């Protein structure tokens, strides 16, 4: 995810979400082909998250399905697929999954890849989602909160925290560096591939997570499959 311009005072355009939707609608095939081959970190942190989540599911086996929301789920592979596989024998976990994405093309690909059994697909800006307080067991976000303007990233953390049940988990990655905006005009060399990322950097993001009353289980910066470094966070609501 290399970028050509980085600026701490960058102000994203007003039509940011429209532009991002159009870009992901256009680059989805190229992005998805690339992403499946570069999934090491996502699987590594998903496994760490499952190490925390699964024992609690087993303890509550007789209860209602465990509700997991993924923000910016893309085409559903590999993350949502791995969770859906857990709902089938031999694991047969009772999970109710919700996959959200801004891009119609991404969600169409997700439906095609994974169907709709045990999973609900919700199209739209993650900032517009609404769930009752304390209704979700976990929220996941891989390389998606980083597409929000920085101010919205804090608000998103607020929303996630209120949606989580006590003891609920968040797994997400964030920009390790502080930046108001990194912009690429043609991501994947695609003429419609205008792209934007931002972030508060590791220290401020971790501070924010703690300030929401979330207990950090994992909070570490790791290099990615390519060149970028991201802050990976697994945290638990008290
Ligand atoms: C880099 S891709 C990551 C996709 C998937 N999580 C993965 O790890 O392969 C970012 C995804 O977030 C989605 N996205 C970007 N901004 C979003 C927003 N405001 N709300 C919901 N989804 C968004 C994009 O459409 C895209 O599918």
Q: Give the pLDDT confidence of 197-234 residue by residue, as tens digits.
A: 999 999 999 999 999 999 999 999 999 877 789 999 99
For 204, the enclosing helix (H) or strand (E) is: helix 202-211
Other C-beta atoms within 10 Å of 50: how many? Answer: 18
Residue in 102, 145, 197 to alter for ligand 1 test, most ligand atoms within 8 A of Cβ: 102
Q: Where are the alpha helices (DSSP H) in 15-148?
A: 16-36, 40-59, 79-86, 104-114
What is the CA angle 224-227-230, rounded to 5? 45
The whole-number average pLDDT for the span 73-102 is 96
Pocket residue to mutate for ligand 1, from 72, 148, 192, most atoms within 8 A of Cβ: 72
Assess whether the C-beta atom of 24 lies below 6 angstroms from ligand 1: yes
β-bridge partners, 7? 181
pLDDT digits (tens, 9 = 90+) for 155-214: 999 999 999 999 999 999 999 999 999 999 999 999 999 999 999 999 999 999 999 999
How distant, in Å, are the alpha carbons of 21, 27, 29 from that of 107? 11, 13, 12
Measured CA angle at 146 (ends 142, 152), to 5 deg:
120
**End-to-end Cα separation, the chain, in angstroms:** 34
Whether ligand 1 lies within 6 angstroms of the CB of 125 is answered as yes
Q: What is the distance between the alpha carbons of residues 163 and 174, in angstroms, rounded to a whole number?
A: 20
State the pLDDT at residue 58.
Answer: 73
Whether the CB of 106 sits within 6 Å of ligand 1:
yes
Give me the pLDDT at residue 135, please.
97
Give nearest CA residue, ligand 1 atom 13.
72
Measured CA to CA, the distance from residue 96 to residue 116 in angstroms comes to 11
In angstroms, the CA 171 to CA 39 distance is: 15
Q: Which atom of ligand 1 is nearest to the CA of 148?
A: 19
- The residue-averaged pLDDT of 131-144 equals 98
Confidence at residue 62, expressed as pLDDT on a 0 to 100 scale: 59
Q: Is 72 in the pocket of ligand 1 (CB under 6 A)?
A: yes
Residue whose CA is at the smallest distance from ligand 1 atom 16: 147
> Could you report the per-residue pLDDT of 44-71, keeping only the tens digit for each?
999 999 999 999 887 766 578 999 999 9
218 Cα: distance to centroid of ligand 1 (angstroms):
22
* Residue 100 CB–ligand 1 contact under 6 Å: yes
Distance CA 172, CA 169 (A): 10
- Percent of the chain residues past pLDDT 90, beyond the cut: 87
Whole-number Cα distances in Å, 89 to 41, 92, 93, 95, 182: 26, 5, 8, 13, 43
DSSP 127: G
Closest C-alpha to ligand 1, atom 1: 143
Eight-state DSSP code of residue 87? T
**Residue written as tokens 């220290």?**
203
Residue nearest to atom 12 of ligand 1 (CA): 72
């Amino acid at each position: 995810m290399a970028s050509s311009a980085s600026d701490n005072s960058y102000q994203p355009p007003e039509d940011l979400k429209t532009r991002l939707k159009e870009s992901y609608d256009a680059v989805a095939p190229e992005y998805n082909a690339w992403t499946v081959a570069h999934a090491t970190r996502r699987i590594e942190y998903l496994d760490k998250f499952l190490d925390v989540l699964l024992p609690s599911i087993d303890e509550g086996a007789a209860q209602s399905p465990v509700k997991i929301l993924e923000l910016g789920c893309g085409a559903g592979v590999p993350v949502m697929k791995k969770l859906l596989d857990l709902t089938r024998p031999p694991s047969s976990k009772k999970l109710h999954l919700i996959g959200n994405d801004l891009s119609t093309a991404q969600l169409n690909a997700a439906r095609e890849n994974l169907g709709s059994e045990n999973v609900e697909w919700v199209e739209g800006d993650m900032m517009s989602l609404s769930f009752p307080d304390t209704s979700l067991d976990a929220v996941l976000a891989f390389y998606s909160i980083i597409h929000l303007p920085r101010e919205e990233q804090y608000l998103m953390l607020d929303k996630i925290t209120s949606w989580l049940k006590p003891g609920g988990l968040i797994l997400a990655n964030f920009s390790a560096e502080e930046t108001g905006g990194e912009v690429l005009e043609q991501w994947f060399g695609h003429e419609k591939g205008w792209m934007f990322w931002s972030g508060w950097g590791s220290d401020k993001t971790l501070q924010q997570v703690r300030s929401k009353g979330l207990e950090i289980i994992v909070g570490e910066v790791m290099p990615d499959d390519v060149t970028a470094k991201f802050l990976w966070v697994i945290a638990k609501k008290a």
